[in-house]
């Protein structure tokens, strides 16, 4: 009765955690270990365990009809996790009960559990894979950055092999014999995780090429393109390591940093379990990444984690007090490696403070960090550490890292937080801040999202490339809307009808969006598409009206390139017709023909249209690799609205880097930093990387960026 009561109380507590208040992966993780151990305990004591199923059944029957997301998938998780665990634990316990006294059976069971869990933990520690399978806890997917956790065939095979082992042990206990013992031994061998999980050797078979320079080693896949990408990453990594070594005051002679460069996010997800994120393992001085951009905006963040291990020491290379100070770990990486080009660190913190969403400092630098909204927690911690560094220098932050946590540093965090808030209240508004805050800093923390895993699964179900009837696809999109609770799936469905040329279906869904109250972003796209349709019919006035409605859906910082360019061309019907087709088609031949038409029409176009046409052509020739032509057109793209002008300046700086004109690139990056606080945050690493790759930058005659203290 005690175990049943405690288990029931545990289930009631889970009912108040939204991700676990329905059948699915989170609930399977939360239930498998407790129910397996309780079944094992009941078996060891020779007691029945069927009553443990009752509270789980009541939990599902009472909550699933109200909170259910994907019940069929949830039932699979329930069987493979807690279900198989219950059968295995009870069978193992019953056999131990028959073989030993109660005391010895309990000790042997405890030894088995501790050994199995320790082996799984050790494997997670030494092998690069982030996910793990184990007999008692079932599955650990690792940090749910990607949200969607699919039931892999390897996990199904592992749990079925465990079920087979339980059945073979039960059979052998009923009919002891040598053949029965051999069957049990064979079944036991099939349950070893090594059959189902990869290891470092698996990575070496895929990433079999090695590129090395002083302090950095890169493993990449065979092929010229992969080698060029690895060389680009190596150049950036060498600079980041040298630059961060000075700031972090770490050992110059420390062991090299190893970078595993995967050819795609899908390959990385299959091999180590993280699809869309870059992962650092500080205690092994490793970074696991797939290429994103050049230079990669996330490499510096992970390099901070790896080099920070020299400061923190210990078995994990992170500050421990006695638990990891996640706010300090991630905050330092964000402060030294900001990668958001839309809004600065302090700008993001100021926006969150204004909206009442800025986390408290005491929550940021405690275990509560991981329970909050990921992006808000990361950026707020980084902004606070950046504020401390500006007041007292980076040495104060590094000392806290060495001591194991910010709360051990002796700083008066409450007074610092008050001064920080006063500074944030005076922070000037940034262009694009509102859009960035809406896109990246809204939403709920993972413990408050009802169906994060199921929503992602439903999206993939709706967006499948399979040829399915239109009615069935629309039903799937509406299922996503029911799970997510917003109109974004309708907007995606309208986009699909637009691409397919189904005008009737598009208008029907768009009218429903208007009736339901879609987001400003989706309404902007809706009116923009209607403007394209009107211009295609030659109705200039209707096109202008729809463009005006699109602009009215959000303030200027929320407007994006396609909309602004259309507005600049609003009086030039011929080019307005072209731009709609140019920006929406994915056919490169059609785009090329339209680009030639833009080039021919440029001289005769009205003055407001010329900068827009020039900017489109600059980006087109950049994509084609004609960099000198792109530079020529980029210089003509003036004047432009503020957001577009800022984007064009960033584009021209990147273009100068690609053309290997470092002095011009540095001049443009510095000009961009004068008008964009987010780019001001990034200027030190951009200028430093330029100087590392092009030493002649020191002779450019341009004042370099102020170094970090």
Examine the fold and report which residue of 172, 198, 224 is the final residue of a domain before the chain moves on. 198
Q: Are 126 and 159 members of one domain?
A: yes
| pLDDT tens-place string over residues 334-374 | 999 877 777 888 988 998 888 888 899 999 998 888 878 78
pLDDT at 375 over 90: no
Strands of 421-479, DSSP E = none
Question: Euclidean distance between the first and final Cα of the chain, in Å?
Answer: 62
> How large is the average pLDDT for residues 321-325?
86
CA distance 143 to 275: 11
CB 698 within 8 A of CB 691: yes
DSSP-assigned letter for residue 570: T
Q: What tokens appear for 688 in the block?
A: 């430093």
Q: Per mean pLDDT, which range of 29-33, 90-94, 278-282, 494-498 is the poorest?
A: 494-498
Domains identified in the chain, total number: 2
Is the domain of 221 the same as that of 367?
yes
Secondary structure (3-state) at 533: helix
Is 121 in the same domain as 217? no
Residues 6 or more apart in contact with residue 464 via CB below 8 angstroms: none
Which one has a higher pLDDT value, 697 or 331? 331
In a domain, 130, yes or no: yes
DSSP-assigned letters across all residues of 142-161: -S-SS------HHHHHHHHH
Q: Residue 162 in contact with residue 88, Cβ under 8 Å? A: yes
Task: Tell how strand 257-262 and strand 209-213 pair up.
Answer: unpaired
User: Among 7-11, 39-43, 166-170, 550-554, which stretch is predicted with the lowest mean pLDDT?
Assistant: 550-554
Whether the CB-CB separation of 314 and 402 falls below 8 Å is answered with no
The three-state secondary structure class of 343 is coil
Mean pLDDT of the chain: 85
Q: Locate 385 and state its tokens.
A: 């550490």
Mean per-residue pLDDT, 672-689: 88
Distance in angstroms (rounded) separating the CA atoms of residues 676 and 489: 33
State yes or no: cis peptide before 614, omega within 30 of 0.
no
Would strands 257-262 and 286-290 be described as parallel, antiparallel, or unpaired?
Answer: parallel
With beta carbons less than 8 A apart as the criterion, state whether 339 and 372 touch. no
Question: Is 23 within the bounds of a domain?
Answer: yes
**Looking at per-residue confidence, does 561 or 188 come out higher?**
188
Are 222 and 238 members of one domain? yes
* Res. 442: pLDDT tops 90: no
Nearest alpha carbon to residue 166 among 104, 236, 95: 95
Q: Is 598 contained in some domain?
A: no
Alpha-helical regions (H) of 191-325? 200-206, 224-248, 265-272, 299-312
Q: Tell me the C-alpha distance between 675 and 444, whole Å.
A: 32
Instruction: Please check whether residues 244 and 335 belong to one and the same domain.
Output: yes
Q: Looking at residues 1-15, what average pLDDT do you find?
A: 86
Is 452 a domain residue?
no
Do 191 and 210 reside in the same domain of the chain?
A: no
Q: Are residues 103 and 145 in the same domain?
A: yes
Residue 498 covered by a domain: no
Which is more confident, 586 or 407?
407
> Is there a contact between 28 and 56 (Cβ–Cβ < 8 Å)?
no
Structure tokens, 468: 């399915």
- 96-112: per-residue pLDDT in tens? 998 889 899 999 999 99
- Residue 424, domain CATH: 1.10.390
194 plus 218 within the same structural domain: no
For CA atoms 328, 329, 330, 336, the dihedral sign is positive
Q: Is 464 exposed, middle or buried (0-12, 13-18, 19+ CB in 10 A)?
A: exposed
* Whether 47 and 191 share a structural domain: yes
DSSP state letters, 473-495: HHHHHHHHHHHH-SSHHHHHHHH
366 found inside a domain: yes
CA distance 608 to 614: 11
**CB count in 10 Å sphere of residue 603:** 7
Report the pLDDT value the prediction gives residue 255, as an integer from 0 to 100.
85
Rg (CA), the chain: 29
Residue 695 makes CB contacts below 8 A (sequence gap 6+) with none
pLDDT at 129: 87
3-state secondary structure of 358: coil
Residue 680 lies in a domain: no
Residue 557 confidence (pLDDT):
47
Q: What are phi and psi of 98, to 5 degrees?
A: -75, -30
Query: Are residue 324 and residue 423 in the same domain, yes or no?
Result: yes
Residues 528, 494 contacting (CB under 8 angstroms) = no
Residues 293 and 353 in one domain: yes
Q: How many Cβ atoms sit within 10 Å of the Cβ of residue 177? A: 10
The torsion of the CA quartet 149, 155, 160, 166, rounded to 10 degrees, works out to: -100
108 with 216, same domain: the answer is no
- In angstroms, the CA 436 to CA 312 distance is 33
* Cα–Cα distance, 272 to 268 (Å, whole number): 6
Three-class SS of residue 430?
coil
Least confident of 321-330, 342-351, 430-439, 636-645: 430-439
Residue 283 resides in a domain:
yes
Confidence of residue 632 (pLDDT cuts 50, 70, 90): very high
Q: Cβ distance 685 to 673 under 8 Å?
A: no
Domain boundary among 397, 430, 463: 430
Given 198, 214, 247, the domain boundary residue is 198
CA distance 216 to 242: 11
- The pTM (predicted TM-score) of the whole model is 0.80
Number of H helices and E strands in the chain, helices first, is 33, 7
Domain assignment of residue 107, given as a range: 2-198
User: What would the two tokens of residue 424 be?
Assistant: 């944030």
Q: Residues 290, 261: contact at Cβ < 8 Å?
A: yes
């Amino acid at each position: 009765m005690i175990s049943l009561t405690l288990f029931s109380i545990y289930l009631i507590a889970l009912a108040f955690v939204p991700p676990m208040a329905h059948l699915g992966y989170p609930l399977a993780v939360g239930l498998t270990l407790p129910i397996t151990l309780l079944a094992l305990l009941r078996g060891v004591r020779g007691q029945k365990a069927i009553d443990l199923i009752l509270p789980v059944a009541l939990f599902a029957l009472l909550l699933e009809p109200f909170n259910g997301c994907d019940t069929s998938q949830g039932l699979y998780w329930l069987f493979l996790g807690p279900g198989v665990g219950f059968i295995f634990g009870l069978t193992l316990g019953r056999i131990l009960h028959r073989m030993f006294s109660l005391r010895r059976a309990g000790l042997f069971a405890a030894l088995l559990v501790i050994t199995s869990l320790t082996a799984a933990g050790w494997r997670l520690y030494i092998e690069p894979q982030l996910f793990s399978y184990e007999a008692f806890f079932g599955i650990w997917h690792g940090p749910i950055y990607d949200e969607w956790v699919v039931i892999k065939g390897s996990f199904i095979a592992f749990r079925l092999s465990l079920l087979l082992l339980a059945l073979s042990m039960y059979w052998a206990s009923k009919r002891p014999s040598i053949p029965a013992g051999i069957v049990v031994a064979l079944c036991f061998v099939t349950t070893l995780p090594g059959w189902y999980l990869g290891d470092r050797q698996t990575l070496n078979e895929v990433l079999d090429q090695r590129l090395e320079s002083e302090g950095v080693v890169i493993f990449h896949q065979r092929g010229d393109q992969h080698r060029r990408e690895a060389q680009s990453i190596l150049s950036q990594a060498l600079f980041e390591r040298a630059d961060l070594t000075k700031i972090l005051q770490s050992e110059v002679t420390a062991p090299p940093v190893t970078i595993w460069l995967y050819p795609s996010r899908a390959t990385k997800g299959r091999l180590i379990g993280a699809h869309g994120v870059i992962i650092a393992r500080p205690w092994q001085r490793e970074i696991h990444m797939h290429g994103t951009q050049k230079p990669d905006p996330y490499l510096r963040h992970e390099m901070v984690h790896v080099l920070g291990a020299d400061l923190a020491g210990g078995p994990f290379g992170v500050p421990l007090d006695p638990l990891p100070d996640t706010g300090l770990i991630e905050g330092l990486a964000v402060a030294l490696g900001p990668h958001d080009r839309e809004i600065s660190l302090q700008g993001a913190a100021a926006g969150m403070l204004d909206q009442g969403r800025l986390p408290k400092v005491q929550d940021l630098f405690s275990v509560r960090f991981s329970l909050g909204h990921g992006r808000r927690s990361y950026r707020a911690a980084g902004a606070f550490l950046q504020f401390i560094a500006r007041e007292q220098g980076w040495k104060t932050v590094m000392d806290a890292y060495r001591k194991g946590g910010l709360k051990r540093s002796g700083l008066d965090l409450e007074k610092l937080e008050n001064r920080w808030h006063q500074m944030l209240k005076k922070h000037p508004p940034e262009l694009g801040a509102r859009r960035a805050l809406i896109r990246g800093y809204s939403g709920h923390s993972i413990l408050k999202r009802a169906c994060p895993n199921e929503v992602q699964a439903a999206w993939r179900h709706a967006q499948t490339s399979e040829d399915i009837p239109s009615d069935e696809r629309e039903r799937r999109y509406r299922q996503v809307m029911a799970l997510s609770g917003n109109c974004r799936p309708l907007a995606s469905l309208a986009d699909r009808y637009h691409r397919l040329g189904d005008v009737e279906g598009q208008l029907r869904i768009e009218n429903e969006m208007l009736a339901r109250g879609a987001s400003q972003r989706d309404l902007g796209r809706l009116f923009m598409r209607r403007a394209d349709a009107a211009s295609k019919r030659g109705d200039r006035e209707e096109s202008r009206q729809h463009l005006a409605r699109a602009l009215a859906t959000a303030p200027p910082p929320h407007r994006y390139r396609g909309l602004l360019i259309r507005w600049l061309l609003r009086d030039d019907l011929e080019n307005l017709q072209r731009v709609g087709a140019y920006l929406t088609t994915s056919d490169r031949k059609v785009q090329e023909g339209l680009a030639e038409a833009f080039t021919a029409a440029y001289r005769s176009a009205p003055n407001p249209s010329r900068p827009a046409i020039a900017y489109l052509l600059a980006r087109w020739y950049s994509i084609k690799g004609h960099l000198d032509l792109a530079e020529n057109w980029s210089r003509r793209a003036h004047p432009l609205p503020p957001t577009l002008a800022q984007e064009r300046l960033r584009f021209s700086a990147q273009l100068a880097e690609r053309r290997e004109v470092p002095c011009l690139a540095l001049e443009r990056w510095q000009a961009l930093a004068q008008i964009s606080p987010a780019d001001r945050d990034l200027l030190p690493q951009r200028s430093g990387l330029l100087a590392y790759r092009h030493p002649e930058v020191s002779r450019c005659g341009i004042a370099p960026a102020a170094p970090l203290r």
